[in-house]
Each structure stands twice: as C-alpha cells, then as structure tokens.
C-alpha cells in the first residue's frame, strides 16, 4: 500500500464480511461506501494519516469501523480517525459509545451528565436506587466535582455509575494519550473524556453485545494507560497482556467459521468449498479440510501434511 485510497480499499473485503455477519444476526451494519468516503475526507484534512507508515494501521482502523458498527460521519461526531504514536486509530466519542450500546441492544437509553460543586446532587443506593441532580444551567456552577451515567435496561430498570473528579484524574494520569503531549483529547476536550471514561466504566455492568465489547477493546488498546512503574494498564487497572490480545482478523475468522459451518451444512457442501465459492476466501482453495479449519479459526498451526481434501 502506497496511498490512503489503497489502504481504505484494502479494508473492504473484511469490512463487507463483518457487515454481512452483523446483518445476518439482525443488526444494521454501517456501509463500506459511505464510511470509505468519510475516511478519505478525514485523511484529506489530517495529512499525518497519509504517511506511508500509517497505511497498514489505517486499513485496520477502517475495519474496526465495521466491527464497532459506528459511523465516521464528521457531522455526527461519533467516531474519528486520529494519528497516535505512529498509528492511525479509531477513536470513539462518549456519544458514539452510547449509540453503539443502544443500537446493538445492550441498553435502551443512556444519560451522562457532569456535576459541579454548586449543583444540587443527591444519590441513594439500595433496593430502589434514586438520583436527583438539579443544576443551575444559567448560573455559575463552580468547579467540576464528578460525572454520572444512568443506563435504562430493557426491563425498565436503571443502572447508575458515578465517578468523582479525583477518580477520572487518576485515570487521565495513566493515559498515554495524556502523558505524551499537549494535543491529546484530555488537553483539548477534557469534559468529553471525563464523560467517556464514566460511560466505559458503566458499560461493564450492561448486557454484553459484540459491537460494544469491540468498541471498548478498540479504545483501551489505542488509548493505553500507564501506572507509576510504567506498566501499561487498562482503565480498570488490569494489566494489558499484548501477547494475549486477540487480533481483529482472528476474531473475524472465528465468526466467519461459525457462520460457514452452519451454512455449509445446510447447503450440503464442504466448509472449504462454501468459503471459496460463497465468500471468495481464495486462500482456502488449495487446503485440505484440516488446513482450512485451522486457517478460518485463526489458529497459528503449521499446515498439515496430506489429509482429505
């Protein structure tokens, strides 16, 4: 790949397969043509993304758009392509996370608000949780004290998550994006990052969906958090094991394999033939059954000798 256009085009096969998988599960995936146009528009406005060394990660970032099911439309301000430490990364706003959560069916509604020292704020935990927040939106609200998120589940109940300013500051200090320079979102849009931090933490207690889990994983992987001794951490303090991180393509292959096995059985053909003829996965054409299975599931095993075709 030598141009932005080639990198974005290289993302299309995986993008389309991911979109097709979500569509079969009843979702409403984003469309490659629209997102490719938005990606080109973003790259034209940020020349750092067009550097040759950025192109492989740009391809992956566009694939992550499909995995998360979020649009790059600049007018919506849901997600962005940003350069970070020599890589093109998919960044998702707190509004984007909320949209992914509601669109994917995790929750029905999310409300995220900042609390200032002169606001009236009262919360009760117990059998029936209650939160009252009365801000003077037209007056001097004082210094920022914290943030909260209320998520409404499908049964009508609510989950409340609160974070103090001290808690979000502690997470900010562990962020590589914050410690590496003055142009990070923590410097330019701190209130938005505080909201996103609370939404990310709250989402751990919401019903899980593939797209929401992928969005959180994408953000954690690219934002990065560092503790006092320099060990990279997740926002919740858990150590990051890069060797154990699941590559997006491996994750995709596992999803494809599960779908292919079911569809191939229905069609009465071998998985390898179905993968080649219906999905255009040309790599499997010369493989035997075991090689095909290992490839599609993403295992890093050497090709088997002989075996049935």
- The 10s digit of each residue's pLDDT in 93-106 is 999 999 999 999 99
* Mean local confidence (pLDDT), 77-91: 92
Bigger pLDDT: 309 vs 112: 112
pTM of the model: 0.72
Q: Decide if 113 contacts 98 (C-beta within 8 A).
A: no
Predicted local distance difference test score (pLDDT) of residue 293? 73
Predicted local distance difference test score (pLDDT) of residue 279? 61
* Mean local confidence (pLDDT), 23-36: 89
Distance CA 237, CA 231 (A): 10
SS3 for 127? coil
Q: Is the pLDDT of residue 260 over 90?
A: no
For 165, 182, 197, the CA distances from 170, given in Å and listed in that order, are 9, 17, 11
* Mean local confidence (pLDDT), 4-26: 92
* Mean local confidence (pLDDT), 21-45: 91
Q: Decide if 298 contacts 248 (C-beta within 8 A).
A: no
Bigger pLDDT: 286 vs 252: 286
* Mean local confidence (pLDDT), 291-296: 71
Radius of gyration of the chain from its Cα atoms, rounded to whole angstroms: 22
User: What are 198's two structure tokens?
Assistant: 């609370």
Strands 109-116 and 79-84: unpaired
Mean pLDDT of the chain: 82
Bigger pLDDT: 80 vs 177: 80
Predicted local distance difference test score (pLDDT) of residue 131? 97
* Mean local confidence (pLDDT), 174-199: 85
Bigger pLDDT: 234 vs 7: 7
Q: Is the pLDDT of residue 236 over 90?
A: no
Residue 114 phi/psi, 5-degree rounding, is -90, 145
Predicted local distance difference test score (pLDDT) of residue 166? 96
Predicted local distance difference test score (pLDDT) of residue 262? 65
User: What are 32's two structure tokens?
Assistant: 């490659």
Q: With the C-alpha atoms ordered 236, 241, 242, 247, is the resulting torsion angle positive or negative?
A: negative
Q: Is the pLDDT of residue 233 over 50?
A: no
- Report helix angle 210-223 to 55-68, nearest 10: 150
% pLDDT > 90, the chain = 57
SS3 for 212? helix
Residues contacting 232, CB < 8 A, separation 6+: 176, 224, 225, 226, 239, 240, 242
Q: Is the pLDDT of residue 116 over 80?
A: yes
Q: What is the pLDDT of residues 143-182, one digit of tens each?
A: 999 999 999 999 999 999 999 999 999 999 887 777 766 6
Predicted local distance difference test score (pLDDT) of residue 234? 43
Q: Of the ranges 70-79, 186-195, 276-285, which one carries the lowest mean pLDDT score? A: 276-285
Q: Is the pLDDT of residue 301 over 50?
A: no
* Mean local confidence (pLDDT), 251-257: 53
């Amino acid at each position: 790949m030598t141009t932005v256009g080639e990198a974005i085009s290289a993302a299309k096969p995986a993008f389309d397969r991911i979109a097709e998988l979500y569509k079969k599960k009843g979702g409403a995936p984003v469309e490659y043509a629209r997102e490719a146009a938005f990606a080109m528009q973003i790259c034209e406005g940020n020349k750092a993304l067009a550097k040759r060394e950025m192109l492989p990660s740009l391809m992956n970032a566009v694939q992550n758009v499909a995995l998360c099911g979020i649009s790059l439309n600049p007018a919506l301000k849901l997600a962005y392509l940003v350069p970070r430490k020599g890589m093109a990364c998919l960044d998702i706003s707190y509004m984007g996370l909320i949209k992914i959560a509601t669109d994917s069916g995790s929750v029905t509604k999310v409300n995220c608000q900042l609390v200032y020292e002169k606001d009236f704020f009262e919360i009760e935990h117990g059998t029936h949780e209650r939160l009252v927040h009365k801000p003077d939106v037209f007056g001097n609200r004082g210094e920022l004290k914290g943030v909260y998120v209320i998520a409404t589940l499908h049964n009508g109940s609510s989950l409340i998550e609160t974070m103090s300013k001290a808690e979000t500051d502690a997470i900010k200090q562990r962020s590589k994006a914050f410690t590496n320079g003055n142009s990070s979102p923590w410097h330019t849009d701190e209130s938005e990052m505080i909201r996103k931090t609370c939404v990310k933490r709250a989402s751990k207690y919401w019903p899980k969906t593939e797209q929401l889990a992928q969005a959180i994983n994408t953000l954690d992987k690219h934002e990065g958090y560092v503790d006092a001794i320099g060990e990279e951490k997740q926002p919740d303090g858990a150590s990051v094991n890069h060797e154990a991180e699941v590559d997006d393509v491996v994750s995709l292959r596992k999803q494809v394999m599960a779908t292919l096995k079911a569809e191939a059985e229905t069609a009465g053909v071998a998985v390898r033939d179905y993968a080649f003829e219906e999905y255009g996965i040309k790599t499997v054409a010369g493989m035997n059954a075991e090689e095909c299975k290992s490839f599609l599931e993403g295992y890093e095993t050497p090709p088997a000798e002989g075996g049935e075709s």
